[in-house]
Structure 1
């Protein structure tokens, strides 16, 4: 009996004190993190609490991150990738479409028309993760620590439309090379604008339409100028949690392990949130139930019978070939082996 009680006491002591000891073993570590768009739920409900609450709690107060969204720091968003690569910014949550012109591989997982849901996007990202991580480390000195995503990217327009074919002749804000190719193929004029500039551009008529997340556009008040919205997913808006590789390698291995574990947990939460926010955003924009504010009065444009075929034709004829041109033969081959295999799609 004595031996049994001793064993139980010893086991209880291990269980009680191991997590605390582990946290106490972590060296004090402080760094800066640049987050995504500050007014959106990605930052407010995911990134900011993660760095100000989750990580400090998990580390027993050893790790402190000073986090600010790029929109509050005077950035447009795309430059963060190079700042992380150079080590000017140690860690950031990078919207990958913003880097698609200079780093085509970053757009691989979220090309227009390849996936139809957040769940499919996560599967595709998982299939591409190992190659993407190797590429970023080797070519850019960046450590990939996970992904996240916004809701489905949908079309907002000032004037009435009944099909995506009606984008012909219209000026459309398109984020990323893939969206720009898609709009051009439809006969529209793609316009590159930072997210924070779009509402003013819609109000003044600089653009006729714009593409962004269903909830993101609502929170940015695009509905004040755009009166029509389509629920058809164009793509989604993948982000990556990235760190400067040299800085990352300088961290204590125990700090690295904790951050890697916590960031993978953040990835799962972000995808789960995005899966609900498309429906929430469409409801908020079109007079339905809205937990985010006063419902807007946009008109929901039903997906036309031929829209899927138009999008599929654009993907085959323009989006995938243009991606291969930007990225190269070897990159396209790797896309086919990973993302293409997961989705049953081939770049030729």
Structure 2
């Protein structure tokens, strides 16, 4: 495979893991981060201990705090910053691409929705970056904890773009014997799935904390997936996307693993902590907390019934006791399973 220049924006766990995959595949990789200490550690120690412990990264990875240096010559740019920072970083990226007179594929690898606009990461990128600087927009979605990727657990994701040529380019660059990339063209479904599963994962963490067993978890997964698909359908997504990696696959990984911040946040909510206490204890961005409010508003706007997501909203934003919320879910009027 020919060497491709890849830039990764964001030096957290997922950004670093993706950078390592690309470097393992023989590509020239640069990571952009805003913390000097992290950048220095990656360059000199080839580790990112705050996020990935003692795992040793590919020595060829270069890190920098200068955005222009990071993206110069990059054919593919992975945006792996928190959702709330995506628009700001995309704006900075637009300036850098314009300065360099460069055209790149920009790939969103963050799962969530912008709280103020309800926009996906790909939409923010399209709005902030001039079309003349874009060789394509894509999304990476699917069940992929960074902790598993860095230790070479077999991982499958999907590269999603309305232009399948773009998706196939990412597929070739990122695929190897432990990181398999599929392609898809349903960007709405993929991004909705990646956001909505975080809400269900919070509920799963609460069930775990409350010591509910397999019956309750199976009910949550099945009915939660139905909610995801129903909202996706209302926004024009392909329902089959929710049966794939960006839907049920990502939901399973996020709602069953302590690697998931959303699952851990749900455990703390189930133990009686408030939203503010959970955020303070976690010390990291919990995408599902802000996404829960967005999903609540989207469901109301599209008149889609999402009782589980609404119960999570009540627990987080209205202080509802999780046990009472569960009982109310079980006492709802009976109806056909397809609804």
Whether TM exceeds 0.5 here: the answer is no
**Higher Cα radius of gyration:** 1
- The structure whose RCO (Cα within 8 Å, separation 6+) is larger is 1
> Normalised by the size of structure 1, how large is the TM-score?
0.29
